[in-house]
C-alpha cells in the first residue's frame, strides 16, 4: 500500500470518530437551501386557517370549513376597529335643548309684507363644522334688514346661500318664492341679476379705474350702449359722493371711498335685493355713520330689500328696520327693530346692549 493510500485511510478513520463524537465542523460541499421565515401576511393566513379547522381527536382528522360558516362571535377580532357614535339618548337630547334654550325663533312679522328671501330648515356643514343647524328666516320685502350675531355664526354663509354660491345640505332657500337649490344654471344666472352685493373690502378690480369698475356689470350683463352706461354710472357715483373720482384707481382711494364705490357698483343693475357683507368693517366710527346714512338715503330713493350682515350694534340702531339675531346656526329671535331692542330674551337683550353678563361668553 502506498503512503498516500495510508494517509487517506487514517483521515477517514479520524472523520468517523469526529462524527461519532459530534465534533464534525466541516461544511457540506453544496449550498443548502435557505429557510425563509414566513412573511407577516403568511403568518396571519396560517393563523386564520387554524381558526377555521377543528381536530377530531378520535379519528385524528382535521375538519376544515369556510369563514362564512363561523358564527360572528367565534370569528377572530379584526385589527381595524370601526368606532360608532353612541346613540343619542335622553342625556344628549337634554344637552341639545340646553344649547338652544334661548332660541325661541319667535318672529314678529311685518304685517302685509311678503318675504323677498326665505330660509326653510337650512343645514350646512363644512366637514365636521356645522354652521347652519336648522335655520328658519324670512327677509321682508322693501325693508332694510340686518342679520346680527357673534363672529363665526354663519352670517356670511347666509349671503352665499341666497345667491347660489353655496347649497344647503338640507332644507331650502326661496327667492321671491322660487327654490334656489333646484334652479337650473340658466335660471340661476338670471336670478342673480336680482342681487347687488357690497363685499367687505369693496372688491374692486385693481387694474381698472373707478368708472370702469362701476360700469363692469353693465358691460357684462346688458347690451346697453356706452352713452347709456355712462349716464347710469355717473348717476350712481354721484349718489355715493364719488362723482368727481371717475379716473381714480382703487389704490388711490381710502377705505371709505372703496366701500362707496362698491356700493355704487352694486346698484347699477337696479337690483331688487342688495346684500351688504359687513360694510362697516375697517371703517372709523364717523365713516361708518356716514355709510349708514348713505344706505338709508339710497334705499329711500330706490326701494327693494336690503340685507346687511354685521355685528355692529350702532349700525343696527341707525339703519335697521328688521333684525334677525343669529347664534349657533339658528335664529334666536327676529322682527321689527323696535321689537327686538325691547326683547325680553336674555341673549337678545345682552347682545343688542353689548353687556358682558349674559348667556354669551368668550367661548
Q: What is the pLDDT of residues 34-61, one digit of tens each?
A: 444 444 344 444 344 444 455 454 555 5
Q: Which three cell numbers stand for residue 92?
A: 344628549
Whether 151 and 287 map to the same domain: the answer is yes
DSSP letters spanning 248-267:
--GGGS-HHHHHHHHHHHHH
Does any domain span residue 96? Answer: no
Domain end point (choices 229, 248, 270): 270
Domain that holds residue 117: 104-194+271-363
By CB atoms closer than 10 A (0-12, 13-18, 19+), residue 183 is middle
Q: Which three cell numbers stand for residue 95?
A: 344637552
Domain end point (choices 270, 302, 321): 270
Whether 311 and 331 map to the same domain: the answer is yes
Q: If DSSP codes are grouped into helix, strand and coil, which group holds residue 139?
A: strand
Q: Which three cell numbers stand for residue 283?
A: 371703517
Higher pLDDT, 183 or 349: 183
Whether 276 and 264 map to the same domain: the answer is no
Does any domain span residue 296? Answer: yes
Does any domain span residue 15? Answer: no
Does any domain span residue 278? Answer: yes
* pLDDT computed for residue 152 by the predictor: 76
Whether 214 and 360 map to the same domain: the answer is no
Beta-bridge partner residues of 197: 275
Whether 117 and 174 map to the same domain: the answer is yes
Does any domain span residue 349? Answer: yes
> Which range (24-28, 83-87, 88-92, 324-328) has the least confidence?
83-87
Higher pLDDT, 128 or 20: 128
* pLDDT computed for residue 177 by the predictor: 93
* pLDDT computed for residue 87 by the predictor: 42
Higher pLDDT, 32 or 328: 328
* pLDDT computed for residue 155 by the predictor: 86
Q: What does the alpha-carbon distance between residue 81 and residue 20 come to, in Å, rounded to a whole number?
A: 58
Q: What does the alpha-carbon distance between residue 209 and residue 246 come to, in Å, rounded to a whole number?
A: 7
Whether 254 and 333 map to the same domain: the answer is no
Whether 116 and 242 map to the same domain: the answer is no
Of 226, 293, 239, nearest to 266 by C-alpha is: 239
> Which range (29-33, 74-78, 317-321) has the least confidence?
74-78
Domain end point (choices 270, 300, 319): 270
Q: Is the pLDDT of residue 121 over 90?
A: yes
Higher pLDDT, 151 or 138: 138
Q: Which three cell numbers stand for residue 261?
A: 364705490
Report the pLDDT averaged over residues 284-306: 89
Does any domain span residue 42? Answer: no
Higher pLDDT, 279 or 163: 163
Cβ–Cβ under 8 Å, residues 287 and 258: no
Does any domain span residue 142? Answer: yes
**Banded pLDDT at 362 (limits 50, 70, 90):** low
Q: Is the pLDDT of residue 138 over 80?
A: yes
Q: What does the alpha-carbon distance between residue 265 and residue 215 come to, in Å, rounded to a whole number?
A: 7
Does any domain span residue 228? Answer: yes
Q: If DSSP codes are grouped into helix, strand and coil, which group holds residue 123?
A: strand
* pLDDT computed for residue 145 by the predictor: 95
Q: Which residues contact 353 (CB under 8 A, 6 or more apart)?
A: 313
Whether 281 and 344 map to the same domain: the answer is yes
Q: Which residues contact 246 (CB under 8 A, 6 or more apart)?
A: 209, 210, 211, 234, 237
Whether 360 and 284 map to the same domain: the answer is yes
Whether 313 and 179 map to the same domain: the answer is yes
What digits encode the pLDDT tens for the residues 198-225? 887 778 888 899 999 999 999 988 889 9
Q: What is the DSSP letter of 73?
A: G
Helix (H) or strand (E) holding 330: strand 330-336
- Return the percentage of the chain with pLDDT > 90, whole number: 35
Q: What does the alpha-carbon distance between residue 358 and residue 299 come to, in Å, rounded to a whole number?
A: 35
Report the pLDDT averaged over residues 181-209: 89
Q: What does the alpha-carbon distance between residue 322 and residue 339 come to, in Å, rounded to a whole number?
A: 9
Output the domain CATH number for residue 154.
3.40.50.300
Whole-structure pTM value: 0.68
Of 115, 122, 133, 135, nearest to 167 by C-alpha is: 122
Whether 124 and 252 map to the same domain: the answer is no
What digits encode the pLDDT tens for the residues 77-107? 433 333 333 344 444 444 445 665 455 655 5
Number of domains in the chain: 2
Q: What does the alpha-carbon distance between residue 219 and residue 10 come to, in Å, rounded to a whole number?
A: 113
Q: Is the pLDDT of residue 64 over 90?
A: no
Whether 298 and 178 map to the same domain: the answer is yes
Amino acid at each position: 500500500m502506498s503512503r498516500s493510500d495510508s494517509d487517506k485511510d487514517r483521515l477517514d478513520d479520524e472523520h468517523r470518530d469526529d462524527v461519532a463524537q459530534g465534533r464534525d465542523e466541516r461544511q457540506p460541499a453544496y449550498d443548502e437551501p435557505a429557510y425563509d421565515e414566513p412573511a407577516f401576511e403568511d403568518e396571519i393566513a396560517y393563523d386564520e386557517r387554524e381558526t377555521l379547522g377543528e381536530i377530531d381527536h378520535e379519528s385524528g382528522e382535521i375538519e376544515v370549513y369556510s369563514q362564512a360558516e363561523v358564527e360572528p362571535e367565534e370569528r377572530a377580532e379584526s385589527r381595524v376597529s370601526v368606532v360608532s357614535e353612541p346613540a343619542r339618548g335622553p342625556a344628549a337630547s337634554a344637552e341639545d335643548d340646553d344649547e338652544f334654550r334661548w332660541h325661541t325663533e319667535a318672529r314678529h312679522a311685518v304685517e302685509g309684507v311678503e318675504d323677498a328671501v326665505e330660509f326653510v330648515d337650512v343645514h350646512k356643514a363644512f366637514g365636521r363644522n356645522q354652521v347652519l343647524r336648522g335655520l328658519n328666516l324670512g327677509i321682508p320685502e322693501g325693508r332694510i334688514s340686518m342679520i346680527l350675531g357673534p363672529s363665526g355664526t354663519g352670517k356670511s354663509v347666509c349671503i352665499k346661500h341666497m345667491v347660489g354660491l353655496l347649497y344647503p345640505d338640507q332644507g331650502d332657500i326661496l327667492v321671491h318664492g322660487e327654490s334656489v337649490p333646484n334652479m337650473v344654471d340658466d335660471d340661476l344666472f338670471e336670478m342673480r341679476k336680482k342681487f347687488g352685493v357690497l363685499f367687505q373690502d369693496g372688491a374692486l378690480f385693481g387694474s381698472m379705474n373707478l368708472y370702469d369698475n362701476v360700469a363692469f356689470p353693465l358691460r357684462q350683463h346688458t347690451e346697453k350702449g356706452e352713452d347709456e352706461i355712462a349716464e347710469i354710472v355717473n348717476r350712481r357715483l354721484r349718489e355715493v359722493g364719488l362723482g368727481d373720482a371717475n379716473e381714480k384707481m382703487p389704490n388711490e382711494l381710502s377705505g371709505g371711498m372703496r366701500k362707496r364705490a362698491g356700493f355704487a357698483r352694486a346698484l347699477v343693475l337696479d337690483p331688487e335685493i342688495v346684500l351688504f357683507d359687513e360694510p362697516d368693517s375697517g371703517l372709523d366710527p364717523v365713516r361708518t355713520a356716514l355709510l349708514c346714512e348713505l344706505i338709508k338715503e339710497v334705499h329711500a330713493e330706490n326701494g327693494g330689500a336690503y340685507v346687511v350682515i354685521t355685528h355692529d350694534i350702532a349700525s343696527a340702531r341707525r339703519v335697521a328696520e328688521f333684525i334677525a339675531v343669529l347664534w349657533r346656526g339658528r335664529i334666536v329671535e327676529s322682527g321689527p327693530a323696535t321689537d327686538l331692542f325691547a326683547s325680553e330674551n336674555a341673549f337678545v337683550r345682552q347682545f343688542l346692549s353689548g353687556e358682558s353678563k349674559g348667556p354669551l361668553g368668550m367661548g
